[in-house]
Structure 1
């Protein structure tokens, strides 16, 4: 773990490129350090310096500064001078540098070389280098404004990590207008050395930070990201907005698994695996962040709604059901107590309607009663600005009622200027607010999700699978690679599956019609014959698959027919032969597959199989790394085919544990062999007792 304390809480800061010219970045950074009240020493550095910069003694070089320990250097000089100056910093013993300058890998060419050299300098001197091409860092608690942002944000407990400097500037400006406070704000830039993983790992131990938000355009160390996030998300919530698309998902179309995967499937699976919560818009990111920063996490899914507008209550109830939360059932005792304060024209059922003319004390008493109901985990208080609505009084009433419980409360003020004073009162009391009821419900869903994350078991179940023959699988895969194959033929894939204990229909390769006849007879009829070639992908289209072969003679004749059709369709391809496979009884058809993501490794797919797999698209993806029984249960349960497997309309239930075993062993196999790019088993026939994989495709 990198020690980044010097980036946030330094005792001294040197600004290389400091200036007295207001239009220069070096001026803005130095001015920001002074204005924010940084308590340590500030050293302006400029090779043309003569006297003072912004009233502080200036130095021509970092080497000229008499202070032996400079905790942090902020650099704003042309890119071509950066690396030489970094070496001077290294010789001076500086351990933390923020490089604001652009002109590196983002411009290509020489910039790429300069940035690579910068990374080597960081390693040589053991320096933490943030950037280049970044906005800088801010810490409201030190305080420190080592950036060229326009001003200092409010003090708070939200940390924001961003790969985009422009996005950071926009957020800071917006936050100041909306009263949102930050603990730390970190602009990463090109991430030559310090990454989002390093910063988030540090923030996990930061007492001033309660929730970590991030905007990322890419993640460079997938395995380390997963490992660190699994630890951090047990300590505090991490919510990330990820832009861009997974290249693996965009390019992989050679298997059913690849064609079913959306562009963002890998990040969704990875974030879920390690407990990171994903926002899909900047608005969502900060709605979630503010709620986590102000409220405790709810202990369950049951929500009470208090409203002065019936329509708003209905919308809220609809959204609660849509997102899998629960509109809480109120006890008769609670209803009886509510009737003391709510007129007969209102409603003591949830959503609780306090009527449009509700005074502040009706809100307060209703909220107090509801908060004491044991069946309620969180409360949404909603208001429309009627003519009789007293916003400030209601706001103060909510604050008073909140003192009686630590259950989360979110206030929905459906309006604008009418609520400005109330919003201020609630903000100061750490009660989050939204404008629309759907937002409030979505926020509570995310908070309830985090409660689940904290309780989740993240230990992999794959270490318990020891009855595999890795050497046998390796021999088959290595032989195929040595032969220049891009994929295994069916009989090879069967042998790999067999080595890993994956239940599959037996299949053997026949190179002559006599071998086909003997193999078919030994398997017992009926059998299936398939053309064997890694170059012929769509075997059925050319007549390369014949089912229900019933005799040795028929198998021999079919061998010759299939070879002839393959020659006609692909005259340039020499098949390996024809494969003979035991024809299995039909069962429920499911798909188990794997697509390898460049950053996160194997992504395991499960869903409905068969010929309509792409049409129906009933599939769920989970990360292979860290997969366990609970994750697989959720993966199966999230598909429609699971209802058939459980037994539908009187059908006997299928062997779901056998399906789980296939998923585990596919994950184990693809983690053990990184050279497997894609794996597709479609279909797997699932029976009342056991299952059998039929068509296994392994792409290298």
Structure 2
């Protein structure tokens, strides 16, 4: 773990580029360090000034009375290298480079940033930025930034790739009354990334929930490793922008075509247990919920409302968000029946009617929270002539104290008439919304996190004792020597077979006679396919013959395939014709791989054959850290799972064999990173075993 103690809590800070001129960044940073109440020593660095803001000023970092633990750079980018080197020689442990003018400006800036990073690494000095706003910690306290203002003390860590987002959220938080433990502006992420700060916040006793705004992930493997550990300690909520890039990547495989630009992030977040927010409001709704409410034990929600319509809306939202409407015990129902009006609904949602005052809300909420089948509650209040908003809010506060392990949310569906109640809840830090849906979304995020946090970890990674790495290495070596990127079917079958994946034996024939010999070896009936890495859709050019049952049919089929392809594609290089035993029909599946830039191999599973592009019934997982339980869950998310279990009297398929095959594919593409794309389509699943019929592999 990277130790960031002297970054957030340094004993001394040098501000290089400190200025006496109000409004200049170097002046704002000095003022911020003084006004936040920082208890360490601040050394303004400016050779032209004797003092700045009442502090003694020094001509350079190496002239301070004692070495600074941290230095903040607010100087032109051109001077950054000499100053970084001086900081390193002076014993500075952390460099916060506010300075812009690096890789965000182009090629020359990128080269300058690389040199800055090299300098920092030479002196074992960690770098935040460059091109960042800086950082704040309200518990140290420290404000090494040029932000206007200083956050309220709280338990939310906010890590942002966008400096403007830091400044905007900070300004908004004052009106919202929201407190933070840390603010971190990542800037260009030349050295320290979101993963380092997530790791630090997970260990920080003053942080309860971790928020991130990111545009990309710098080091996918490190991010995954850190996030998997961190979510067991703190909820991580991420807003990832840039989801509307130009759709799916250009790819030669079905899997590559199905994997859109944002899919790897979605998959990575889900596998790690990260909660993904879709918009800014959701990000901070969840932050407030986690910071101020207990995590529910499960997903059973009770609704108390004084209006039927909002109750129905809440019920719909609960089902859509994969939550469950709580079912009350007989004792709860009897108690509600005894005290509520005859017209009231005593089942969930509990409708206390429009004439309900605070006492009726209090009674109903107390009864449902006392029910063992309720994990959380939402109170919906509409403004009627007799509504008592402040008293109803106070009743909610009392119930939260009485049942501290059950989160309570509110939707006060109105404006001026309900303002007193809304203000009361805000002061008590009970999440209150204008409509039910955001409250339900927050509960859903919390319930999902509780499930992930409490889930026992499967420590054992995928391991197979019977892998033949030598055969794979030799086959790939021959293909590279042939200057090819796409494997022939026979080569692909050999590679997957070497990893214990049951593939139909495939023979490469160069003459009609050779094809007939191979057909007899395989056993009739057989399938013939043209062998050429340049032809992806063989059927379209007459390059496939199926159900051939004799030597004569195979010989004729060979000749017809070669003639067809020469006629359609006269310039394409042909390697011969592949001969393959024709297998009995099974459940058609696809098991595929595409390689993501950040996170590595992405495994796909779903219905194969003609259904792939028609139904797009595919679930994805990262090969990184994939375990058996996650493969089983992946399979269960698809329609293929219904067929595998046995549909309309059909025998169940061998799901264990499917799980094993996916695991072996994940191991293959992890062991051999040069495999960039792979499709087994179709693979036939049988009541016993599985068979890979058509295997396509592309290498880099």
TM tier, smaller: over 0.9
Aligned to 1:2: 2
Mapped partners of 2:285, 2:309: distance in 1:
23
Aligned to 2:13: 13
Mapped partners of 2:246, 2:689: distance in 1:
33
Which aligned pairs between 1:11-410 and structure 2 lie closer than 5 A? 11-49=11-49, 51-66=50-65, 68-245=66-243, 250-405=248-403, 406-410=405-409
Mapped partners of 1:69, 1:99: distance in 2:
18
Mapped partners of 1:6, 1:248: distance in 2:
42
Larger mean Cα displacement after TM superposition, 429-438 or 508-517: 429-438
Aligned to 2:686: 687
Q: Does the 8 Å contact 2:585/2:684 carry over to 1?
A: yes
Q: Does the 8 Å contact 2:248/2:258 carry over to 1?
A: no
Which aligned pairs between 1:414-453 and structure 2 lie closer than 5 A? 414-453=413-452
Give how far 1:443 is off.
1.2
Q: Does the 8 Å contact 2:617/2:639 carry over to 1?
A: yes
Mapped partners of 1:332, 1:450: distance in 2:
30
Aligned to 1:506: 505
Change (3 A) 1:17 1:634: same
Larger mean Cα displacement after TM superposition, 335-344 or 174-183: 335-344
Give how far 1:414 is off.
1.9
1:329-363 CA deviation, whole Å, 9 max, x = no partner? Answer: 11110012223442222211100111223222222
Q: Does the 8 Å contact 2:19/2:52 carry over to 1?
A: yes
Mapped partners of 1:115, 1:493: distance in 2:
43
Larger mean Cα displacement after TM superposition, 574-583 or 334-343: 334-343
Secondary structure at the aligned position of 2:34 is classed as: helix
Mapped partners of 1:78, 1:247: distance in 2:
34
Give how far 1:422 is off.
2.8
Normalised by the length of structure 2, the TM-score is: 0.97
Mapped partners of 2:594, 2:434: distance in 1:
41
Larger mean Cα displacement after TM superposition, 484-493 or 1-10: 1-10
Q: Does 1:673 align with 2:672?
A: yes
Q: Does 1:527 align with 2:526?
A: yes
Q: Does 1:609 align with 2:577?
A: no
Q: Does the 8 Å contact 1:246/1:265 carry over to 2?
A: no
Secondary structure at the aligned position of 1:603 is classed as: strand
Secondary structure at the aligned position of 1:566 is classed as: helix
Mapped partners of 1:208, 1:573: distance in 2:
66
Q: Does the 8 Å contact 2:250/2:257 carry over to 1?
A: yes
Aligned to 1:573: 572
Give how far 1:687 is off.
1.9
Change (3 A) 1:464 1:491: same
1:248-302 CA deviation, whole Å, 9 max, x = no partner? Answer: 9842421111111122111111112222221121111111111111111111111
Secondary structure at the aligned position of 2:303 is classed as: strand
Give how far 1:483 is off.
1.0
Q: Does the 8 Å contact 2:462/2:627 carry over to 1?
A: no
Give how far 1:305 is off.
0.5
Secondary structure at the aligned position of 1:251 is classed as: coil
Change (3 A) 1:596 1:354: same
Give how far 1:621 is off.
0.4
Larger mean Cα displacement after TM superposition, 462-471 or 550-559: 462-471
Normalised by the length of structure 1, the TM-score is: 0.97
Mapped partners of 1:48, 1:385: distance in 2:
64
Give how far 1:423 is off.
3.2
Secondary structure at the aligned position of 2:366 is classed as: helix
Q: Does the 8 Å contact 1:461/1:627 carry over to 2?
A: no
Mapped partners of 2:187, 2:503: distance in 1:
50
Q: Does the 8 Å contact 1:246/1:267 carry over to 2?
A: no
Aligned to 1:651: 650
Mapped partners of 2:158, 2:415: distance in 1:
27
Mapped partners of 2:423, 2:41: distance in 1:
36
Mapped partners of 1:676, 1:653: distance in 2:
33
Give how far 1:450 is off.
0.9
Mapped partners of 2:97, 2:584: distance in 1:
66
Secondary structure at the aligned position of 1:649 is classed as: coil
Change (3 A) 1:292 1:110: same
Q: Does the 8 Å contact 2:15/2:44 carry over to 1?
A: yes
Q: Does the 8 Å contact 1:681/1:696 carry over to 2?
A: yes
Give how far 1:464 is off.
2.9
Larger mean Cα displacement after TM superposition, 246-255 or 319-328: 246-255
Mapped partners of 1:247, 1:391: distance in 2:
46
Give how far 1:412 is off.
1.5
Change (3 A) 1:488 1:460: farther
Larger mean Cα displacement after TM superposition, 8-17 or 128-137: 8-17
Q: Does the 8 Å contact 1:249/1:597 carry over to 2?
A: no
Mapped partners of 2:360, 2:477: distance in 1:
75
Q: Which runs of 5+ in 2 are unaligned?
A: none
Mapped partners of 1:609, 1:457: distance in 2:
33
1:477-497 CA deviation, whole Å, 9 max, x = no partner? Answer: 221111111111111111111
Q: Does the 8 Å contact 1:368/1:402 carry over to 2?
A: no
Secondary structure at the aligned position of 2:143 is classed as: strand
Mapped partners of 1:248, 1:387: distance in 2:
53
Mapped partners of 2:460, 2:68: distance in 1:
48
Q: How many residue pairs were aligned?
A: 698
Mapped partners of 1:389, 1:45: distance in 2:
61
Change (3 A) 1:245 1:471: farther
Q: Does 1:455 align with 2:454?
A: yes
Change (3 A) 1:527 1:462: farther
Aligned to 1:552: 551
Give how far 1:457 is off.
4.6
Give how far 1:183 is off.
0.4
Q: Does the 8 Å contact 2:235/2:274 carry over to 1?
A: yes
Aligned to 2:474: 475
Secondary structure at the aligned position of 1:69 is classed as: coil
Give how far 1:650 is off.
2.6
Secondary structure at the aligned position of 1:677 is classed as: strand
1:436-459 CA deviation, whole Å, 9 max, x = no partner? Answer: 211111111111111121133554
Mapped partners of 1:400, 1:368: distance in 2:
9
Mapped partners of 1:113, 1:196: distance in 2:
22
Secondary structure at the aligned position of 1:80 is classed as: helix
Q: Does the 8 Å contact 2:97/2:130 carry over to 1?
A: yes
